[in-house]
Amino acid sequence: MRRFVALGIISATLSGALGAAERYLILPFHNASRGANLDWIGEAFAETAREALAAHGVPVISRQEREETAHRLALPLDHELLKGSLIRLGMEAGADWIVFGQFEFTPAPASPDPARGSIHVRVESLDLKRFLAGPAHEDQAPMRELSPLLGRVAWNLLQDAAPAAVPAMEEFLGTCRPVRLDALENYIRGLLAPDAGQRHRFFALAVNLEPNFSLPCFELGRMQWEENNYQAATRWFERVQPDCSRYLESRFLLGLCRYHVGDYAAARKAFEQVGKAAPGAAIFNNIALAWYRTMSPGAVEAILWAVERDPEDPDLQFNAGYLLWREGKFAEAIPHLKKALQIDPGDAAARRLLLRCQEGEGPRRGDLSLEGAERLKEDFEEVAPALDRAGGRNHQ
């Protein structure tokens, strides 16, 4: 039990203030300029704002969910939407607020270089519960200073959404790493690319131009993770910096990669880092399994802590039974395995393990049928709610 307490994550009561906050949907800003080649800037405004709100614990609808909802309603996000369409989109996505805007690029006289032009942006929001307009903001900057402009727009939205959580603008902007314009463009174009090959090319270009740019490193790591290329994914996730809004998600995925290649000590370290930031049942499941794999004391206590907080999760119940069975505690394992089967009657592994416990039979030498049967949580969205309650996804 000492190891479990040492992590500093005992059933602490977490503040629910931000967890109960209103949910935001942020649309790509409409390009009011003539050049369609600048559409990526509208997505840059939306992505920067979304990352900033999420990092400070404000619930924000993901870009993927936004795109799926718009596709379902046949609403083109590359066009300026009428108010009725905005409301339909926001309501369908389950948002409380919808944020939209437009920008206009003015080229420099007698210069073909876009970096010499300027950007003017207007941001608006709509309260979907009261159908009232929120605060509007306008700003402008030279094109070469797009990165600070993105930061100011994000700060204004954060100030509207969670004034208690937002630092002073100077402090907020001071934490935003300046990014080369061409690197930012390639990153956003990577998000917008329709296929994996193009996404990889744009993200790699962004990193080549700006080696410390964490967001494309994260995306490259995630692409490798989805292809089960764990070693390659690890190298990218390790380059994500602590001030990045995807930092804890990168730690979570890094832990999974380490676990799958058998580096359980490194997996344990990564999972513990996430668990310290925001204790929850899903991450404690993985911590318990990493402790079990490294023969660290406290694995059973950790999985039982997770089960107590989410008793209807069949994987947690199975893992509790599995770890107790491996310790020879058959009678204690049986209720967990029965509960797993009650939730999922088709769980053949749980049924087989329950029978072994009822017969008082532990692991057999040479029998691999139940070797490595533990179940990791591999979906970050199961971990994210605890991170949001703790104050944001880059909370450390």
Full set of structural domains in the chain with CATH: 24-164 (3.40.50.10610), 184-269 (1.25.40.10), 278-381 (1.25.40.10)
7 pLDDT higher than 70: no
Q: Which of 106-110, 133-137, 240-244, 279-283 shows the lowest mean pLDDT across its residues?
A: 106-110
47 pLDDT higher than 50: yes
Rounded Cα distance, 149 and 55, in Å? 18
Give 98's strand partners: 25, 126
pLDDT confidence tier of residue 2, bands split at 50, 70 and 90 = very low
152-197 pLDDT, tens digit per residue, is 999 999 999 988 878 888 888 877 778 899 999 999 999 999 999 9
DSSP string for residues in 44-79: HHHHHHHHHHHHTT--B--HHHHHHHHHHTT--TTS
Q: What are the tokens at 148?
A: 């600070």
How many other C-beta atoms can be found within 10 angstroms of the C-beta atom of residue 183?
A: 21
21 pLDDT higher than 80: no
Predicted confidence at residue 387, as pLDDT, reads 61
Contact (Cβ atoms closer than 8 angstroms) between residue 306 and residue 6? no
How far from 294 is each of 93, 255, 283, 327, CA to CA, in Å? 43, 14, 17, 14
14 pLDDT higher than 50: no
What are the start-end ranges of the H helices in the chain?
A: 2-6, 39-55, 63-72, 83-93, 146-161, 169-174, 181-192, 196-209, 214-226, 230-237, 247-260, 264-277, 281-293, 299-309, 314-326, 330-343, 348-358, 380-389
Model confidence, pTM: 0.86
Predicted confidence at residue 165, as pLDDT, reads 77
8 pLDDT higher than 50: no
Rounded Cα distance, 131 and 159, in Å? 20
109-128 pLDDT, tens digit per residue, is 877 777 788 999 999 999 99
Contact (Cβ atoms closer than 8 angstroms) between residue 179 and residue 147? yes
DSSP-derived secondary structure letter, 194: S
142-159 pLDDT, tens digit per residue, is 998 999 999 999 999 999
- Residues 225-238 have a mean pLDDT of 98
Predicted confidence at residue 314, as pLDDT, reads 97
Strand 118-127 relative to strand 132-133, pairing: antiparallel
326-350 pLDDT, tens digit per residue, is 999 999 999 999 999 999 999 999 9
Rounded Cα distance, 304 and 136, in Å? 49
261-284 pLDDT, tens digit per residue, is 999 999 999 999 999 988 899 999
Predicted confidence at residue 114, as pLDDT, reads 75
- Residues 99-113 have a mean pLDDT of 88
